[in-house]
Amino acid sequence: MARGNHPYKRVDRATDGWVVSLTNEVQRDVVQAKVLSYINPAWIKSVKMREGKADDPEHGVIDFILIESIRGGLSQIGFKSCDQGRERFQGTSKDYVAFDEEPPYEIYLECLMRTLDCRGHIWGAMTPLMGLTWVYDAIYLNERNDPEVWFVAMAWEDNPFLSTEELKRLEATLTPD
């Protein structure tokens, strides 16, 4: 989306979105490293840090990055964490919000409000370790029959980076449920 060439969505301009983690530490150690690995460093025009140095973003906490869009202009990828609280998500418009793991429901709702006025998108990738939470009702069951809500369930076997031995070890840690 930020580069302007999403494989499934039409992107006509530079975008403004958030990538949301559960904590600053997860953002730093997992999510921002993954996002940075997808972006050619030549596309990055500016890095604003919350903690650390802009010339070493991998070892700090990024506030946002500006990257060159093929549609012209600069797209902003902001990084947020749920431990900042719902209030830190208020009062702005976003083209997209991407959740890494299941956010608290109030933060999901706040982000939904941020994307409404620009017909934005919300994505999430999560491992349902917490059981039947609000995600089960709102996303998996889609109890409101919202045509904009859909999900893709993936099994561990779909991950090409996990060996058969690792899968067996993971399964041994879980209850049958």
Provide CB contacts within 8 A for 139, sequence distance 6+. 124, 149, 151
For residue 77, give the 3-state DSSP assignment. strand
Cα torsion through 78, 31, 150, 140, rounded to 10 = -120
Q: What is the pLDDT of residue 101?
A: 93
* Residues 125-138 pLDDT 10s: 888 777 889 999 99
Other Cβ atoms closer than 10 A to 55: 8
Please give the angle made by the CA atoms of 102, 104 and 110, to the nearest 5 degrees.
Answer: 110
Residue 160 has what pLDDT?
Answer: 87
Q: Kindly list the distances between the CA atom of residue 131 and the CA atoms of 101, 156, 169, 171, in Å, as whole numbers in the listed order.
A: 13, 17, 20, 16
pLDDT, tens digit (0-9, with 9 covering 90-100), for 114-162: 999 999 999 998 887 778 899 999 999 999 999 989 888 888 888 888 8
Give yes or no for a contact between 32 and 79, defined as CB atoms under 8 angstroms apart.
yes
pTM: 0.88
pLDDT in tens, 39-63: 999 999 999 999 998 888 888 899 9
CA–CA–CA angle 157, 163, 169 (5° rounding): 90
